[in-house]
Structure 1
């Protein structure tokens, strides 16, 4: 059996979901001189995480567990001496509420929830971890340089029509985000085309694009330009579910025919911003971050 890390400020637990977020967090934590214990979710985390552990065996360890294995997560972190942990990467909402097979500890937690919203569930998990001596910290703690700065980020600024759609979209998105229904809306010509629910941001954007493609050609008076608006929740808990955009977001917008993206400045992580903006510029897409 390998030696466990001692519990100290230099050890960080990483609960890894899907996408590149866990890898960016891991790189940032290592740059801060931290040793990282990764709890990789079998249903979500990319297998590439094993390569990172193999490359730095003294500083990175990976333990695989399934969604619902809350007791195993706690036991793993306690055995490895983890007193602080961070969640990074998406866990699809439909996975949380349909594919999950809870152990006794999580089953008890679920039974005591008033509602099964993502915020409620993750907040309850955070409380259980805290009770066991494991403090969840903000997922932006080591990634602040990646938070969106205020202003227009691309060569092209939003048009007058897009500005109007942004204003309307921000009001709608903040409204639904307050109910923990989703964080993204797609707007066109002052009309709400799609609202995010459990399917996620990319699926919402694609659904909006598909809807426009199937509209009757006689509806040509509608300016068919889609504006995507993504916001944080009004009382966003930065420990989980922080809004994230990156190159895949722009690729999805291109596929859907969307022309403008608005995010919240200082509350949205932009991954690989330079490549993201370059791709947007190449396709005439405007990106703006509003306060």
Structure 2
């Protein structure tokens, strides 16, 4: 019938960066929506406010959306108490309690809200598995010292990640130079670049232990290559199948040009 919404559509809840565009390229006419202030790169997106989340979710379902996927970086937005609609306002205590428990709890609560509204939440491993490299060396050469540093960094991230601290660490010569905290990977690498005089070491990226893998997977892209090169590291390693490689060909070429390795590392 004319005017009937297309059924079983997918909506991409986009954040900043290029991930949403890469996910959209593999889907059939998805709706792309971004939280106000976090527009994605390379693709147009309608915007919504967290203070009006329930009307936004109802609108998605009215347009035939049955599944959503989160793609891109988002930081906690500033909320306007006067902008809440009555239905979304009822969620404030629930969201506030989760946010006090840390980022993981807040993200899990966000997923639960979408599911309670009747929307299935899919992960990138289901929707865009091509963006998550299997195990292998994609650029450069990995030495035994790099392997040891990657193992040590993986231990650091697993230990700190269990405390909901971050998804990355920098290790060189067995010494932990930096760990990822709330400011993110770029801030960690900038600190590394400014605080060392030597060369070598590895950036490790992996999800936190017990993290819901449908949201907030680590991502590596061309910008990461520039930052790692500036920090004078040897390369980047990540848990195979658990990190997104953005703009794959460009990122691999940039790594080769910078003399860095890219290693999708199997679990020990």
- Shorter-chain TM band: 0.7 to 0.9
TM-superposed deviation, 1:86 = 0.9
Q: Does 1:247 align with 2:222?
A: yes
Match of 1:36 in 2: 30
Say if 1:274 and 1:63 are closer, same or farther in 2 by CA, change over 3 A.
closer
TM-superposed deviation, 1:159 = 2.5
User: Matched residue of 2:5: which SS?
Assistant: coil
TM-superposed deviation, 1:4 = 6.2
1:185 to 160, 169, 172: 169
Match of 2:17 in 1: 19
Say if 1:49 and 1:276 are closer, same or farther in 2 by CA, change over 3 A.
closer
TM-superposed deviation, 1:67 = 4.0
TM-superposed deviation, 1:24 = 0.9
Contact residue 13 and residue 36 of structure 1 kept, 8 A: yes
**1:1-291 equivalent positions in 2, closer than 5 A:** 3=3, 5-6=5-6, 8-9=7-8, 11-30=9-28, 35-46=29-40, 48-50=42-44, 62-92=45-75, 96=76, 99-101=78-80, 103=84, 104-113=89-98, 115-154=100-139, 156-213=140-197, 224-291=199-266
Alpha-carbon distance in 2 for matches of 1:225, 1:69: 48
Contact residue 261 and residue 287 of structure 1 kept, 8 A: yes
Alpha-carbon distance in 1 for matches of 2:175, 2:249: 31
Query: Greater shift after overlay, 16-25 or 72-81?
Result: 72-81
Say if 1:83 and 1:208 are closer, same or farther in 2 by CA, change over 3 A.
same
Structure 1 gap ranges (5+): 51-61, 214-222
Say if 1:114 and 1:169 are closer, same or farther in 2 by CA, change over 3 A.
same
Per-residue deviation, residues 14-70 of structure 1 (Å, max 9, x unmatched) = 11111011111111112xxxx3222222211137533xxxxxxxxxxx431134432
TM-superposed deviation, 1:212 = 1.0
Structure 2 gap ranges (5+): none
Say if 1:114 and 1:63 are closer, same or farther in 2 by CA, change over 3 A.
closer
Alpha-carbon distance in 1 for matches of 2:229, 2:246: 18
TM-superposed deviation, 1:152 = 1.8
Say if 1:68 and 1:49 are closer, same or farther in 2 by CA, change over 3 A.
farther
Contact residue 260 and residue 287 of structure 1 kept, 8 A: yes
Say if 1:278 and 1:63 are closer, same or farther in 2 by CA, change over 3 A.
closer
TM-superposed deviation, 1:264 = 0.8
User: Matched residue of 2:60: which SS?
Assistant: helix
Alpha-carbon distance in 1 for matches of 2:25, 2:72: 14
User: Matched residue of 2:10: which SS?
Assistant: strand
Alpha-carbon distance in 2 for matches of 1:152, 1:114: 37
Compute the TM-score of the two structures, normalised by the length of structure 2. 0.88
Say if 1:266 and 1:47 are closer, same or farther in 2 by CA, change over 3 A.
closer
Q: How many residues align?
A: 259
Say if 1:249 and 1:105 are closer, same or farther in 2 by CA, change over 3 A.
farther
